[in-house]
């Protein structure tokens, strides 16, 4: 009876009485495959716009790695096809290739991992119609914010504004134009004795806070 292989990982199952004198070599390869499956990090070099990620029965291959770090110099969005299409796969992906990477296995759904981002994906191994699912897209991140989103991922904008207003600011520094309600305010201090004066057209600046000399004299004459 000939050796067989595990369905999803291609680990060789040596049959009784087979591989006399070479059984140790086969076992070593199997253990190396297991090592890749559990903790292996593979650097996958991409070029062009397509790449095939293969798992070969009984041989060390890129499809065995648990973590895939995509690099290289692809010429555009690169489509990585996971093969065979009848194997279940879970990959942790880090995309450092400079381009978006599309993961596919069959004609079903695909997952796009933008450059500089990471994802945990699942390939369902359904054959020609196999689909890929982005597991990390369904993680509960309701208690976290991504800094790159600039607070666009908050559940309630009004609450977020209120929280920000309540947070103490230690000597904030502003550059450029500060607008509140459509009115432009100065970003630096004025001179002693000056006050904020509006031009009536949406701009506030520092100016004289007192009454002019002429007006003061006129008022003194009228009111004594």
Residue 48 shares a structural domain with residue 132:
yes
- First-to-last CA distance in the chain? 123
The alpha carbons of the chain give a radius of gyration, in whole angstroms, of 33
CB within 8 Å of 159: residues ≥ 6 apart? none
Residue 20 shares a structural domain with residue 111:
yes
- Label residue 214 by pLDDT band (50, 70, 90): low
Residue 112 shares a structural domain with residue 180:
no
* pTM of the predicted model as reported, rounded to 2 decimal places: 0.65
111, 138, 165 - which closes a domain: 138
Interval 59-85: pLDDT, tens: 999 999 999 999 999 999 999 999 999
Per-residue pLDDT at 174: 65
Examine residue 82 and state whether it is found in any structural domain, yes or no: yes
Residue 127 shares a structural domain with residue 193:
no
Residue 120 shares a structural domain with residue 190:
no
Instruction: Point out which residues pair with 95 in neighbouring strands.
Output: 70
Residue 59 shares a structural domain with residue 112:
yes
Burial of 222 (0-12, 13-18, 19+ CB in 10 A): exposed
Q: How far apart are CA 151 and CA 160, in angstroms?
A: 8
Examine residue 72 and state whether it is found in any structural domain, yes or no: yes
Per-residue pLDDT at 33: 97
Smallest CA-to-CA distance from 120 within 137, 107, 142, 98 is with 137
Examine residue 155 and state whether it is found in any structural domain, yes or no: no
Q: Which domain holds residue 80?
A: 4-138
Residue 118 shares a structural domain with residue 205:
no
Lowest mean pLDDT among 57-61, 126-130, 143-147, 213-217: 213-217
Examine residue 162 and state whether it is found in any structural domain, yes or no: no
Number of domains in the chain: 2
Examine residue 165 and state whether it is found in any structural domain, yes or no: no
């Amino acid at each position: 009876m000939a050796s067989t292989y595990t369905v999803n990982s291609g680990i060789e199952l040596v049959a009784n009485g087979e591989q006399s004198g070479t059984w140790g070599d086969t076992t070593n390869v199997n253990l190396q495959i297991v090592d890749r499956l559990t903790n292996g990090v593979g650097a996958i070099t991409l070029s062009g716009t397509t790449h095939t990620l293969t798992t070969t029965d009984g041989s060390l291959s890129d499809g065995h790695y648990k973590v895939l770090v995509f690099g290289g110099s692809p010429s555009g969005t690169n489509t990585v096809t996971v093969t065979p299409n009848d194997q279940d796969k879970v990959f942790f992906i880090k995309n450092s290739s400079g381009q978006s990477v599309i993961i596919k296995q069959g004609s079903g759904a695909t997952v796009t991992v933008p450059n500089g981002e990471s994802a945990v994906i699942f390939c369902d191994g359904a054959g020609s119609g196999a689909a890929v699912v982005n597991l990390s897209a369904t993680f509960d991140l309701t208690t976290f914010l991504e800094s790159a989103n600039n607070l666009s991922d908050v559940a309630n904008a009004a609450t977020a504004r209120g929280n920000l207003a309540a947070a103490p600011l230690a000597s904030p520094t502003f550059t450029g134009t500060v607008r509140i309600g459509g009115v432009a305010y100065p970003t630096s201090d004025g001179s002693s004795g000056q006050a904020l004066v509006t031009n009536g057209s949406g701009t506030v600046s520092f100016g004289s806070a007192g009454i002019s000399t002429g007006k003061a004299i006129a008022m003194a004459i009228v009111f004594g």
